[in-house]
Amino acid sequence: MAGLIKGPAIFLAQFAGDDAPFNSLPAIAKWAADLGYKGIQIPTFDNRLFDLDKAAESETYCDEVKGICADAGVEITELSTHLQGQLVAVHPAYDLAFDGFAPSQVHGNPKARQAWAVDQMKKAAIASKRLGLTASVSFTGSLAFPYLYPWPQRPAGLIEEAFKELAARWKPILDVYDENGVDVGYEIHPGEDVFDGATFEMFLEALGGHARCQINYDPSHFLLQQLDYLAFIDIYHERICAYHVKDAEFNPDGRQGVYSGYQGWVNRAGRFRSLGDGQVDFSGIFSKLAQHGYDSWAVLEWECCLKSPEQGAAEGAPFIEHHIIEVTDKAFDDFAGGETDQEQIRKMLGLS
């Protein structure tokens, strides 16, 4: 069994802003450390905090970034490429909405936008290696999601073709990650073609079982789908390389259920909450991860429809720290044991 889960850590994307201390890496890293976080997950799509192009080109810049974090008292857990990963595969229905994730020069040009995203993903592999990281986190993007619950029915072969194309786009990227010794932990998330265990298996199969195709485990998305998120760990633990600690609640009633009736976040049956305010069984999750030897980071991803980000961040570090299990190297009843005696064993079995 592996060692201690690392943490607490925090994903910076939801906190970055134009005002101090959220507008620069030195300031936000110190803010996180002052709250008790030991690690930070850096969004590569926010130039206020990180310059991905420079990181892919300059060892010196990466050393400076590591130095800034060390001076603040935190480590880098992973680089996040969620927005760029999303743009590797975009169904035309989402073109206008997702243009906002890319630079203005590729807006209205899906092929150019995709090429930019692929280049960004490859740069993140190189940057991760320069930073001494072995995992990153991202999204798969989506070609088939508009056909999730179809009427009229889907034509035979549509889903297979979508996953074939999705894998064809990702395999060259994952090969670059393999060359750099870095995993891609995909956040399994509605809106992506990979949104549950079954779709992850389809993606993995289309990729030929690529070793770098891994999972960023986030139970909040599973609770809102009513998926057994503890059993998920038992099934897929060998592929889990990262962990977003994020809470949620699902309160169906006579008016709405899983799809939540197009309501705003506050009025949805399924909604994200700050740690401890929702229904996710984190004691069970940390126990399962410890049982299966997960020894990477536990990273707060804060999203809540009610609580302020400042309060959520302040409460998150002690919550995670409280749940991290110090894995024992002994059995609780070792005191009652003794030296192995083969003759005694045979006598106990009635064999001598």
Q: Is the pLDDT of residue 2 over 60?
A: no
Q: Indicate the pTM of the whole model.
A: 0.95
Q: Does residue 30 sit within a domain?
A: yes
In the chain, what is the greatest distance between 2 CA atoms, to the nearest angstrom? 84
Write the single-letter amino acid at 289: L
Q: How many CA atoms lie within 13 Å of 88's alpha carbon, on the beta-carbon side?
A: 29
Q: Is the pLDDT of residue 86 over 80?
A: yes
Write the single-letter amino acid at 137: V
What is the pLDDT of the chain when averaged over all its residues?
A: 96
Q: Is the pLDDT of residue 148 over 70?
A: yes
Q: What is the residue range of 331's domain?
A: 6-348
The token pair at 322 is: 């409280």
Q: Does residue 106 sit within a domain?
A: yes
Averaged pLDDT for residues 307-328: 96
* Pairwise CA distance, residues 1 & 4, whole Å: 10
Averaged pLDDT for residues 106-122: 98
pLDDT at 315: 98
Tell me how crowded residue 309 is: count the other CB atoms within 10 A of its CB. Answer: 16
44, β-bridge pairs: none
Q: Is the pLDDT of residue 210 over 60?
A: yes
pLDDT at 352: 76
Averaged pLDDT for residues 142-171: 97
pLDDT at 331: 61
Residue 129 Cα distances to 11, 52, 61, 147, 183, angstroms: 19, 13, 13, 37, 11
Residues of the chain with pLDDT > 70, as a percent, come to 97
- The domain total for the chain is 1
Q: Does residue 167 sit within a domain?
A: yes
User: 157: which residues sit within 8 A by CB, 6+ positions away?
Assistant: none
The token pair at 229 is: 């998120």
Averaged pLDDT for residues 107-123: 98
Averaged pLDDT for residues 16-35: 98
Q: Does residue 1 sit within a domain?
A: no
The CATH number covering residue 21 comes to: 3.20.20.150
Q: Which of 3-7, 183-187, 229-233 has the lowest mean pLDDT?
A: 3-7
**Confidence grade of residue 1 (pLDDT, cut at 50, 70, 90):** very low
Q: Is the pLDDT of residue 336 over 80?
A: no
**Confidence grade of residue 309 (pLDDT, cut at 50, 70, 90):** very high
Q: Does residue 272 sit within a domain?
A: yes
